[in-house]
Chains A and B, each alone.
Chain A
């Protein structure tokens, strides 16, 4: 018995020594948030590198052969660099990084990334954001259950998301339309410096949607919004009054023949009108989100 205890103690010592001798080296292939327990903030190294700490939440990453790639929205992680507004899921199109296969961002609703989609990719810039209007391959749906959990991270996270006019959703967009809960802030600026003009055919300098919402000309802040969804055979009205404050997102109850994520999408999407009250927002006065 005594001998057994001694063996156990020696084994434990060996294990502890092995743990000490092997340093913690974690490979990253992109910029990424720094976990709070090692100081927090954001690491701006955008080439493969190593740290002595693992990611705080692996749901925000894809594991590639070369290391972790951050697929989340960098803005709530103290990121302060170039940013581009997106709406809904889309392929990750950062040209600098080589993936083994297609990688998708499963974030619902408005969010930011540090990369701009390439001109040849199937994105449309509309209502203040890039929307993916291409077709998702089966791999997107197969991987969805595994990666859609990223919305559990960002959903309740209070931060200024890009203000996107969902009524300007282009035809061919297959994701869910998501709006902020009543009493919470949508985000901030549409068309400010946070979203540089896209290289692809962009909307006209100023587009009138509904009665009084302006998109594309000068930056504007959406203060209050009413949403009307109109379908071919049914008509329903949802009114959301949006005030200042950050908060969780919820999906606008868009009625679809079947859940959007359960099968490859159809080229059918609602026509939306947006009678909204907007206030002009002058450049340089609060474009930083």
Chain B
């Protein structure tokens, strides 16, 4: 739960982290959506080559109003596509009712050792905040070691 002021600080902190790692992006804003929701969505290009595109981190959060001017995080998407290494990691929370009903969890991960060729469309994952996601993304940024997708558990597979 957070107030608008706290969310502005949160977004400002995320911006400064990405800036200090050499990210380039337009200054993100805390926006208003329909039904009183607020949130942000922005993408930062990281240094590390431009073929076919620079590495890209994209952060999206949607917060819904609760009591006393506070908001609750209801959806997020943290994405990292390391285009020069052609791979992708993502941590998502969306369609929570569907995922909860079908799989007993509200979050999932995407992991592609080869961009566009996932071995599985959705993996089980743990709830994550944007700071943990950035740390995970940066730890693999430009590194030759595999992401470790094979160690994740695929959703939709028989146990």
Q: Are A and B genuine complex partners?
A: no
B contact set with A: CB distance below 8 Å: none
> Which of A's residues lie within 8 Å of B, judged by CB?
none
